[in-house]
Amino acid sequence: MGYKDGNEDNGKLVYHGLLLCAEGEVKNAHKKSAKKTVYYKGEPFMVYLFEKNVLFNVVVGKNVKNNEPRCFYRNHIPVNNMLFGKVPNCINTFTIRSMRVEFATTSGDPDSIIGENPKGECLAYTCRAETSESFAEWIHAIETVSAQQYDFAGALENPRAHQTLRS
């Protein structure tokens, strides 16, 4: 698909695959269907999980030469601004969304917030894998990248303590 390891903007490609996705979150699936399993429908997306970003590309057909999906970029969510979770009672389904981030001044004073993320909106995608194996691979890949980001943030926040833990 043209993505190689070491893409400077996104980092290394960690995982990719075809998912059925829809913009937004399934919030009431567990309330409407107390004990029933819900199959969440969406449109086909080719999703790329990089070290720094998750790219969502809508599938619009097949490439004639190699029979691979033809995709167009739809959106992305930075990994360091991402929340994800499994959707209750929806088989092989998870949600990836951006956090609503507030930017504070360097003083650290909570009353001196200077802005919020653009448009103040949270971008979210609900995604369903075709198989439970694919679902497990996606969850593992997302958890791995999230753990790396968390570790990196801890190292930036307190380099000495991080280096002591590594020794």
Structural domain boundaries of the chain? 13-166
DSSP assignments along 99-121, one per residue: ---EEE-TT--GGGEEEESGGG-
What's the CATH number of domain 13-166, 2.30.29.30, 2.60.40.10, 1.10.730.10, 3.40.50.300? 2.30.29.30
Angle at Cα 63 formed by Cα 58 and Cα 64, nearest 5°?
Answer: 155
Q: What's the alpha-carbon Rg for the chain, to the nearest Å?
A: 18
Return d(Cα 69, Cα 166) in angstroms, integer.
43
| Per-residue pLDDT of the chain in tens (167 residues, 90 and over written 9) | 455 444 567 888 999 999 999 988 765 444 444 555 555 578 999 999 999 999 999 998 877 677 777 889 999 999 988 889 998 888 999 999 988 654 444 445 444 444 444 455 678 999 999 999 999 999 999 999 988 888 877 778 887 776 776 66
User: Which pLDDT score is estimated for 150?
Assistant: 80
User: Which pLDDT score is estimated for 33?
Assistant: 46
User: Which pLDDT score is estimated for 31?
Assistant: 45
Nearest to 91 by CA among 128, 125, 136: 128
